[in-house]
Chain A
Amino acid sequence: DGGITQSPKYLFRKEGQNVTLSCEQNLNHDAMYWYRQDPGQGLRLIYYSQIVNDFQKGDIAEGYSVSREKKESFPLTVTSAQKNPTAFYLCASLGTADSLKDGYTFGSGTRLTVV
């Protein structure tokens, strides 16, 4: 079945460490997105990419970095510059052929905790 795979499901980060969250899709979608979810708040956009080797900052990009070397992969790195990284991270994709008619597909999320 086609879908989005996020790994790991749980991740623990020590102070000062960089960690990378994986997002892989087999839907042949062009566009991919990273959202952050905090308790009691709506999802906020971190980064997005519409094509390989190109990506754009979202509303809360500070302290995060991404790459898009392959169409199916969009990893997110949480750097030590992100002061409050504890949150639930969701990856999503959107096919751009008829992108705005198909809707989004989301992964199952990664819960990141600072220890």
Chain B
Amino acid sequence: KQEVTQIPAALSVPEGENLVLNCSFTDSAIYNLQWFRQDPGKGLTSLLLIQSSQREQTSGRLNASLDKSSGRSTLYIAASQPGDSATYLCAPITDSWGKLQFGAGTQVVVTP
């Protein structure tokens, strides 16, 4: 069974610093990997989707890398803002049914 670990569990930085969020997974046979953001009491918002054939994906200040062979993905957020405060979740898809396996998330606080 796929196990997903996200490190660190929590992170607090001053505004303007770059954020680095790590995700590791035990089964490298993934179809793709999706990064989500969750605000307190809200649903999940998709940030980036990386196909298994890709090494990275970028959207604005966000960049996600994928190293399938080592079972790792990293989400970089440049020049953090207080509005980036949220929990970030990574989720690989490892079967044709499309089931996601989630990590517990990284809770980010960006202070003004």
Residues in chain A within 8 A of chain B (CB atoms)? 6, 31, 33, 35, 40-45, 48, 50, 56, 58, 88, 90, 92, 94, 96, 99-109, 111
Contacts and interface: CB of A to CB of B under 8 A. Distances in A.
A108 B100 CA distance: 17
A42 B34 contact: no
A17 B51 CA distance: 43
Interface of B: 4, 31-32, 34, 36, 41-46, 49, 51, 89, 91, 93, 96-100, 102-105
Contact of B41 (A40, A42, A56, A111): A111
Given A42-B89, A45-B99, A48-B97, A101 B46 contact: no
Contacts, number: 70
Nearest to A99: B98
B97 A50 contact: yes
